[in-house]
């Protein structure tokens, strides 16, 4: 049996293994990218992903307004861009322009996708609900693409303000 130590509730949440980072793009005309560290597969049939977004974020308003969004899985080579998108507001800057990320027209959605990302999931919004300090937005995947050489190990991981890279290198915000 494993010996245990007591954790407070916040530390218990932080005990989860690292989550994937996603760059979520939303909007048609007015568009934005938000870095999301709380993202999860919610259902396989139908294929639904969920993203947790703080209501004070500019992207929250866009996610409420528009009927679709894209979930884009960046590689480890996009750390600087991911960090930029997570620390700047789309109210103030065009994150596509400032980061050099390429907006790609979705095949089945009006929101843009991000050309440099390893995986792109085009999602039609299927619902949302508020819980705790986040609104969970759910999207049914209606089209998806991945780089030919994609493996899960190439995706950027996030937890607690840290980006974990190979060799236990940690980038902090």
Q: Over the stretch 112-168, which tens digit does the pLDDT of each residue have?
A: 999 999 999 999 999 999 999 999 999 999 999 999 999 888 888 765 555 555 566
Please tell me which residue, 3 or 49, carries the higher pLDDT value.
Answer: 49
Whole-angstrom CA distances from 123 to 38, 72, 104, 144, 146 are 16, 11, 14, 9, 15
Output the pLDDT for position 173: 44
Query: What residues does each domain of the chain span?
Result: 19-161
At the top level of CATH, the class of 19-161 is mainly beta
Output the pLDDT for position 21: 81
Output the pLDDT for position 3: 84
* 172 contact partners, CB below 8 Å, separation of at least 6: 161, 162, 163
Q: How far apart are CA 118 and CA 95, in angstroms?
A: 18
Mean pLDDT of all residues in 43-63: 95
């Amino acid at each position: 049996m494993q010996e245990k130590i007591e954790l407070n509730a916040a530390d218990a949440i932080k005990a989860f293994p690292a989550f994937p980072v996603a760059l979520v793009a939303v909007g048609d005309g007015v568009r934005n990218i938000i870095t999301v560290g709380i993202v999860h597969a919610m259902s396989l049939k139908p294929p639904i992903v969920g993203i947790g977004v703080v209501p004070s974020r500019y992207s929250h308003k866009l996610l409420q307004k528009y009927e679709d969004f894209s979930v884009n899985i960046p590689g480890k080579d996009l750390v600087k861009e991911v960090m930029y998108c997570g620390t700047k507001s789309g109210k103030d800057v065009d994150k596509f322009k400032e980061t050099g990320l390429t907006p790609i027209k979705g095949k089945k959605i009006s929101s843009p996708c991000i050309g440099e990302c390893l995986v792109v999931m085009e999602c039609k919004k299927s619902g949302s609900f508020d819980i705790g300090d986040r609104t969970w937005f759910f999207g049914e995947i209606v089209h998806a693409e991945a780089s030919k050489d994609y493996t899960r190990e190439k995706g950027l991981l996030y937890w607690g303000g840290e980006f974990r890279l190979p060799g236990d290198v940690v980038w902090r915000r």
